[in-house]
Structure 1
Amino acid sequence: MKAFYKILSVVFGVLLLVTGCKSENGNKAIADDVPVRLELLFLGHSIEHHNSRAYFPILASALTKDGINITYTEDVNDLNERNLSLYDGLIVYANHEEITPSQEKALLDYVREGHAFIPIHSASFCFKNSPEYIDLVGAQFLEHGTGTFTTDIIKKEHPIMQNVEPFSIWDETYVHDKIADDITVLMERVEGDHHEPWTWVKEYGDGKVFYTAYGHDERTWANPGFQNLVKEGILWAVGDTPRENWIAFAAEIPTLKYEEKPNIPNYEKRDPAPKYQLPLSP
């Protein structure tokens, strides 16, 4: 009996080792040439202003159907080498005031080594104690008003913009400071004679940065035009291998089909009423 339990404990230990290795490596345990979805980390915050807790699910649910998975955190300590290595890119939408030297190094190294960085809206006013972070974003928030506006696409030939159309939305009218010399402006907000850089990209080492000033509240986050803009920014910013694997993965995602059925409940009185989803094959 003692021998049995000894063998059992050895087997259990091996299982722990194997599962532990899989967990530690996350999606990076998958081979480079296997169809796989994109994995993004989303850094938010716990305050209600720029309510990342509420807006993150809107974006995540919109992009998951396209094979882009987003994991949410509010802990700046997650900006470390081991954790960041699990993801193809980092989204920041928050109001964190400061970043520690170790967190800053992990973030800068992560992008420099070839990963995607997607700062959105208030991310341009995060980590004000770090000039290197401000340069990474490409500018720093200075001030804003509010209004309904449509930005102008000025680089339609850029890969991101080829599948993006202008859209009108109410949002904060950001004005930026400390604008870097190496950004490529894709969209600008025109107000009178003033042309404000609004959406831009830049390269940072082997990595790529995509920033847009859109994103104050749910009106923007729920807008299909904004969701598509962020999606195209992600697809451009991730590395070649993750993008190629995603293309292969997305090609396998089945197209959902629906048909009218007389007995589907519609308690919310949605218009149009929900339809019956046809079953998928095994």
Structure 2
Amino acid sequence: MKKLVYLVFLTAWLFSGCAKKAGTTSAITSSHKSGKEGPRRGEILFLGHNSKHHDSGKYAPWLAITLFKSGLNLTYTTNLKDLNPENLSKYDALVIYANYDTLATDQEKALQGFVEGGKGLIPLHCATGCFKNSPWYLNTIGGQFKSHGNGAFTAAIVNKKHPVTQGLTEFSTTDETYVHQNLNKDKTVLMERVEGSTREPYTWVRHQGKGRVFYTAYGHDDSTWTKPGFQKLVSNGVLWAVGDKVQKQIAQFNAPQVDIYASSNIAISDYTKRHLVPKMQEALTPEQSLKLTQVPVDFEVQLFAAEPDITNPIAMSWDERGRLWIVESVDYPNTFLETDGAANDRIKICEDTNNDGKADKFTVFADKLNIPTSMVFANGG
């Protein structure tokens, strides 16, 4: 089965639409596979489920936005069969936010090898109620869900020196008030929910073999998932869990920061709302754009064409000869009546004639167009 690669347009750069397995080289590439040496983005697998109770399908994209700014790619799955050695080897850490009762023996073995071999495990909220048949899993995450009420509270930070709590402030939310059982004493508690004389561990970390485990009981629904403090907590936890080596690689990767909204102050759910654009995003180089492009972990993207050979590409399609056809919109977003009175847009063919993977021949197929938005091949092209 072929894998689909979604390419991101950032400024006026185009990248090859022919997906290639990682491992080849070129002047400018984007390949972030786990285990790769040198600067790269981290790779996180998020295990969710097909249920609106603990809506992982809704919250995983929210978390992906936050993690991406920290240099981490997130891939979402609801398939327990993805817990196998071959697939897990592509990732630096696994997030679990789901309700599954049992863990198959081969999946437990794969997960154990993954964590104890040095990768991260991030069980969130309901993950302490998962896999009741696996003593190894329950011991590894550090505790098991017992019961809960519901209410407004603020968990207290009890360890302010740990990397996970750096830059974190306590936040109030309405959430399920988890009570745990079978707590593993071999853990470091970072936050507690205080209720009367009870101090319930609510966020903790621990080590399992060579791997790191981060857990928080926060996260039942929108009330918590929309809190910037919760997103910061989980982002810190994931970044800690991937380990020192991957953290260093992410820092060396030096991905550009292009957020023009100061979104650390915007609830993650508010991205669907309209906001006043404070400024235009500054143009990026091809190298910078590649750092903001996510593809499947075992594929890479290579540069195919860039300015000045192309201008303002807004649509593209590949023909049967391997040529890239693009719509260049010089006029966008204005009609010709609002500019110089001429139609300046065009369709251009970008062709690689020497098979080096980069376009070296550029032919204008149609010009004097105004705001063309798409194209389709018909009648033999």
TM-score after normalising by structure 1: 0.84
- Partner of residue 162, structure 1: 166
Write out per-residue CA displacement over residues 151-170 of structure 1, whole angstroms, 9 at most, x where no aligned residue: 01111111211221100111
- Partner of residue 120, structure 1: 124
Q: Do 1:95 and 1:125's aligned partners in 2 also have CA atoms closer than 8 Å?
A: yes
- Partner of residue 153, structure 1: 157
Q: Do 1:32 and 1:241's aligned partners in 2 also have CA atoms closer than 8 Å?
A: no
Within-5 A mapping of 1:142-221? 142-221=146-225
Work out which of the residue numbers 254, 257, 260 in structure 2 matches 1:254.
257
Write out per-residue CA displacement over residues 195-222 of structure 1, whole angstroms, 9 at most, x where no aligned residue: 0000000100000000000000122112
Q: Do 1:153 and 1:187's aligned partners in 2 also have CA atoms closer than 8 Å?
A: yes
State the alpha-carbon separation in 2 of the partners of residues 61 and 196 from structure 1.
30
- Partner of residue 9, structure 1: none
Secondary structure of the corresponding residue to residue 193 of structure 2: strand
Residue 22 (structure 1) shift: 4.9
State the alpha-carbon separation in 2 of the partners of residues 22 and 80 from structure 1.
22
Within-5 A mapping of 1:1-282? 19-20=20-21, 22=23, 27-28=32-33, 31-33=36-38, 35-249=39-253, 251-257=254-260, 270=274, 273-282=276-285
State the alpha-carbon separation in 2 of the partners of residues 199 and 104 from structure 1.
24
Secondary structure of the corresponding residue to residue 28 of structure 1: coil
Deviates more, 1:137-146 or 1:219-228: 219-228
Opposite residue 139 of structure 1, the aligned amino acid is G
CA RMSD in angstroms comes to: 2.1
Residue 253 (structure 1) shift: 1.3
State the alpha-carbon separation in 1 of the partners of residues 62 and 33 from structure 2.
26
Write out per-residue CA displacement over residues 22-45 of structure 1, whole angstroms, 9 at most, x where no aligned residue: 59xx73377412x21111000000
Secondary structure of the corresponding residue to residue 208 of structure 1: strand
Seen in structure 2, the aligned counterparts of structure 1 residues 269 and 28 have a Cα distance that, compared at 3 Å, is: closer
More helix as a share of residues = 1
State the alpha-carbon separation in 2 of the partners of residues 142 and 181 from structure 1.
17
Seen in structure 2, the aligned counterparts of structure 1 residues 20 and 275 have a Cα distance that, compared at 3 Å, is: closer
Residue 66 (structure 1) shift: 2.6
Identity %: 47
State the alpha-carbon separation in 1 of the partners of residues 186 and 247 from structure 2.
24
- The answer for unaligned runs of 5 or more in structure 2 is 1-18, 25-30, 262-271, 286-381
Q: Do 1:27 and 1:87's aligned partners in 2 also have CA atoms closer than 8 Å?
A: no
State the alpha-carbon separation in 2 of the partners of residues 155 and 269 from structure 1.
36
Larger Rg: 2
State the alpha-carbon separation in 2 of the partners of residues 228 and 149 from structure 1.
18
Q: How many equivalent residue pairs?
A: 251
Q: Do 2:156 and 2:194's aligned partners in 1 also have CA atoms closer than 8 Å?
A: yes
Opposite residue 237 of structure 2, the aligned amino acid is G
Opposite residue 53 of structure 1, the aligned amino acid is G
Write out per-residue CA displacement over residues 213-264 of structure 1, whole angstroms, 9 at most, x where no aligned residue: 0000122112110111011111111122211011122x34134457xxxxxx
Q: Do 2:84 and 2:107's aligned partners in 1 also have CA atoms closer than 8 Å?
A: yes
Secondary structure of the corresponding residue to residue 99 of structure 1: coil
